[in-house]
Amino acid sequence: MAGGAHIETGGRHYEGEVTAFVLITCFVAAMGGLLFGYDLGITGGVTSMEPFLVKFFPTVYKQMLDDSSTNQYCKFDNQLLTLFTSSLYLAALIASFFAATTTRLFGRKPSMFLGGLFFLIGALLNGFAINVEMLIIGRIFLGFGVGYCNQSVPIYLSEMAPAKIRGALNIGFQMMITLGILGSNLINYATSRHKNGWRVSLGVGAVPAILLCVGSLCLEETPNSLIERGQHVKAKTMLQKIRGTNNVDEEYQDLVDASEAASKVENPWKNITRRRYRPQLTFCSFIPFFQQLTGINVIMFYAPVLFTILGFGSDASLMSAVITGGVNVLATLVSVFCVDKFGRRILFLEGGIQMLVCQIVVGIMIGMKFGLNGQGSFNKGEADILLVFICLYVAAFAWSWGPLGWLVPSEICSLEIRAAGQAINVAVNMFFTFGIAQVFLSLLCHLKFGLFFFFAAWVLVMTIFIAFLLPETKNVPVEEMNYVWKSHWFWNKYIPDDAVPPAYNSSKAAP
Ligand code: BGC
């Protein structure tokens, strides 16, 4: 396959094992994903709870009651309410740029701590909200929390992990996201029957936030970040500790070299736009864009609506929580076990094809049942078939674009552009999460069943994009990625010869 360049990493095989210390450290850091997942799952449920709407959005609630449309495509859509929901993603987008500076200048730990702290303040403001202002300010704090965590946690995980299990450890982040979504859906289900249940739903967000705050205080800083900030001795000791061996000279030297190269860079933002970083800039921008264009958040945010249409009645929200949430968690495990063995590309490609097929089937079935006017219903057998395809779609996302959307951008950037690259990744991701939440209901009303084909077309584009342009990065040490670009049929022309040792260039030049 065109993109599957053979990778030569200069023969680097660092010594070391997978230590318990590194596993525990990564587990604690991955908690950052819980915050994001919790929020992704909690808000949709809360904004459909009657007491919450009556208290904060009474006019919206009245309009909702007056809405008597039977068109299944054109569900009640209020921009103010969706804007409230998605304001968090805008706040996260802005925060990711500040987080980049904190992460680079002060380390990964302070960024994670701040992420937890912001989220804690936001959860408390929301849980105790007495007016809309408190609610919105709380949401902005939550957004800052998500921005800080999503910027720093994936970098932290990729830097701590030994190359051979970097994928699995990094996917701990996505694993926590999916657990956060599942947990929050179940909490919503339990609280939705109580008058002040929404306070519990919003306030419980404080729990993962406290876990992350306390956890991040106990964590150690990554060797890469210590060297970046001049603490060489500490960095070497840390490297020995996390690799479980004293023989870390080669890896340590590579980190020092990477740091020296990075210190020559004055402005990481300007730097990442330079020609030699074109591959990283491309993937840090397109991977999050494509991840959102898979349409996954249509399922995550609107599953209860979708399941009601499918005829699950009053159990729709519980069913959607348990079924899609459960599949999401379990299928993420598949990628934990496969990503370092079979690589990133195969997961991307298989996941893409599976999502494509599922979207086409779902689109055809909905089109045949609801036609253009949106009138109709499914019988039990049809609903079951549809459900199977929705689950297969969620599973495909969960072992491909879900985890890899966070893993790949965090492992491809060299130190001098890492914080900036990850900030771009988070910002683009948040922007399109926001955009899709905002326009989904009106898109469905206009494109009808064609909406599924719309997302299918994007999945086709992104799968071709990966097939031709993404090289395999499994088992390649983070600071050795230049070899990967240099051996790729398309990206090699962007990488100057001095980016890899002369011996490598002469070996390539040989017939
Ligand atoms: C995405 C989210 C999505 C979640 C679903 C994450 O990787 O960034 O937008 O809701 O996966 O599990």
Whole-number Å distance, alpha carbon 397 to ligand 1 midpoint, is 9
Ligand 1 centroid vs 261 CA: distance in angstroms?
Answer: 34
State the Cα–Cα distance between residues 436 and 453, nearest whole angstrom: 15
Rounded to whole angstroms, the Cα distance separating 96 from 150 reads 8
Which residues contact ligand 1 via a Cβ below 6 A?
A: 40, 174, 177-178, 181, 291, 296-297, 300, 328, 402, 405, 429, 433
Measure the CA–CA gap between 319 and 125, rounded to whole angstroms.
30
- Rounded distance between C-alpha atoms, residue 201 and residue 44, angstroms: 11
Of 279, 336, 223, the closest CA to residue 485 belongs to 279
The reported pLDDT for the residue numbered 1 is: 43
* Low-confidence spans in the chain with pLDDT less than 50: 1-11, 509-511
The reported pLDDT for the residue numbered 34 is 94
d(CA 147, CA 429): 10
Ligand 1, atom 11: closest residue by C-alpha? 402
Tally the C-alpha atoms within 13 A of residue 151's C-alpha that lie toward its C-beta: 39
Q: Atom of ligand 1 at shortest distance to CA of 405? A: 7
- Give the closest residue (by CA) to ligand 1 atom 6: 402
Segment 493-497 long-range contacts (CB within 8 Å, at least 24 positions apart) = 494/275, 494/276, 494/278, 494/279, 495/276, 495/279, 496/276
288, 426 contact by CB (below 8 A): yes
> Cβ distance 205 to 39 under 8 Å?
yes
**Whose CA is closest to atom 3 on ligand 1?**
297
Atom of ligand 1 nearest to the CA of 398: 12
Q: Atom 10, ligand 1: which residue's CA is nearest?
A: 297
Helices (H), 161-222: 166-191, 197-203, 206-218
pLDDT for 213:
95
C-alpha of residue 33 to centroid of ligand 1, in Å = 10
- Give me the pLDDT at residue 121, please: 98
Q: Which atom of ligand 1 is nearest to the CA of 402?
A: 7
Q: What pLDDT, on a 0 to 100 scale, did the predictor assign at position 456?
A: 98
Query: How remote is the CA of residue 352 from the centroid of ligand 1, in Å?
Result: 15
Model confidence over 329-354: pLDDT tens digits? 999 999 999 999 999 999 999 999 99
The answer to whether the beta carbons of residues 455 and 192 sit under 8 Å apart is: no
